[in-house]
Amino acid sequence: MVSKTRIKHLLVKEIIKFIFLGLITIFIISILQTRSEMIANQFDLNDETQLIYKKNFSHISNQQAVCPLYPKELDGSYRPKSCIHREKLAIIIPYRDRLTNLVLLLKYLHPMLQKQSRYYRIFLVEQFGNDVFNKGRIMNIAVNEALKLDNFDCFIFHDVDLIPENDKNIYECYIHPRHLSIAIDELRYNLMYFNLVGGVLALNLDQLNRTNGYSNLYWGWGAEDDDMSMRILDNGYEIMRPTNKVGRYKMILHGKRSRAINRFELLEYWKRYNKDGLNSLKDLKYEIKSIQSDYLYTKIIVDIGPAVTEIVDKKKIVHSKFNFF
């Protein structure tokens, strides 16, 4: 028989172990979160940081004032009238059957962009029909169509289900790509892994050309954003992010898309990107059904045809696994 004193002693030891392990877990999570904020090259843009990184405004006369990040008055216009725009911004939202999400996003996004004095245009790109969704391909097509309308300097790819919580999260491009959605409520406001760029991503035109945009081969949900992160890093860029407190988003509940069947195989051969992206659209069959400018967005409906299982020529492409860190 085990005495009561012995049982009590064992219980106390187990409780102490449990408390100790809990404290260790909390400490590790704290260290990882600090790492994501420090090593992720945090970029909290404000007027002071412009002293370090200055855009070239030499073509503007002294009599004209460059738009401040936070103007005192808002005129509700897509284009600021009282100052010179900092850059031309295209917001690209891939879309299908998410009207509730879209209405909520636009309700918050327009006032925020106007408060930041953005010269911007929102492009809603919708895949025609009910076939499997190809997010990367329709975003590439949207870039091409946007450049036909204006000389945009900056492109922000924005999931329709993510609502920004902090208007100090500046929607602007930089000398490195910027991952703006570092902290999402559904993920407990933590960055899941270091090379994550899904959600809201800002790339200037030069960065888009060097990475060749998104892959056109991912049919279904998953891995097109991870593929993009490897393109970014392979070109010598760093992934810049706002602080965890600034880059916060609310994810609206929605149904998940079907996963891409061969996403892992495509991701392992991501080095094909020089021939898979913006420059390969000319070899793909697609049809622009309509381009319509509405009050809140410019809507592009594109037919990219039926889904296929894309096959990679493994003999011509170097195998390279995706790096999470």
Q: Rounded mean pLDDT of 19-30?
A: 80
CA distance 139 to 127: 10
- At residue 181, does pLDDT exceed 70? yes
Q: 95-104, 274-283, 308-317: lowest mean pLDDT where?
A: 308-317
Query: What percentage of the chain carries pLDDT values higher than 90?
Result: 50
Fill in the amino acid letter for 238: E
CA distance 271 to 319: 8
Quote the tokens at residue 142.
């949207």
- Residue 108 has φ and ψ, to the nearest 5°, of -95, -30
Greater confidence (232 vs 314) lies with: 232
Q: Rounded mean pLDDT of 119-132?
A: 93
Q: Rounded mean pLDDT of 22-35?
A: 70
Q: Residue 17 belongs to what H/E stretch?
A: helix 4-38
CA distance 143 to 213: 9
Greater confidence (127 vs 318) lies with: 127
Q: 62-76, 165-179, 204-218, 270-284: lowest mean pLDDT where?
A: 62-76
Q: Residue 40 has what pLDDT?
A: 40
Give the Cβ contact number of residue 123 at 10 Å: 24
pLDDT band at 28 (very low <50, low <70, confident <90, very high): confident
Greater confidence (11 vs 110) lies with: 110
Q: Residue 59 has what pLDDT?
A: 62
pLDDT band at 150 (very low <50, low <70, confident <90, very high): very high
Reduce the DSSP state of residue 31 to 3 states and report it: helix
Environment class of 307 (CB within 10 Å of its CB; exposed 0-12, middle 13-18, buried 19+)? middle
DSSP string, 189-203: T--SSTT---SEEEE
List the beta bridge partners of residue 304.
none
DSSP string, 162-183: EEES-TTS-----SS-EE---E
CA distance 230 to 324: 10
List the beta bridge partners of residue 163.
250
pLDDT band at 25 (very low <50, low <70, confident <90, very high): confident
- At residue 302, does pLDDT exceed 60? yes
pLDDT band at 292 (very low <50, low <70, confident <90, very high): very high
Q: Residue 232 has what pLDDT?
A: 96
- Residue 315 has φ and ψ, to the nearest 5°, of -75, -25
* Contact assessment for residue 286 and residue 302, using Cβ atoms and an 8 Å cutoff: yes
Distances (CA, A) of 110 to 9, 120, 291: 62, 9, 20
Q: Rounded mean pLDDT of 187-193?
A: 89
- At residue 68, does pLDDT exceed 70? no
211-246 pLDDT tens trace: 999 999 999 877 899 999 999 999 999 999 999 999
Nearest in space to 167 (alpha carbons), one of 239, 108, 83: 108
> Any residues with CB less than 8 A from the CB of 16 and at least 6 apart, and which?
none
Q: Are strands 298-303 and 287-293 parallel, antiparallel or unpaired?
A: antiparallel
When the pLDDT of each residue in the chain is averaged and rounded to a whole number, the result is 83
pTM of the model: 0.78
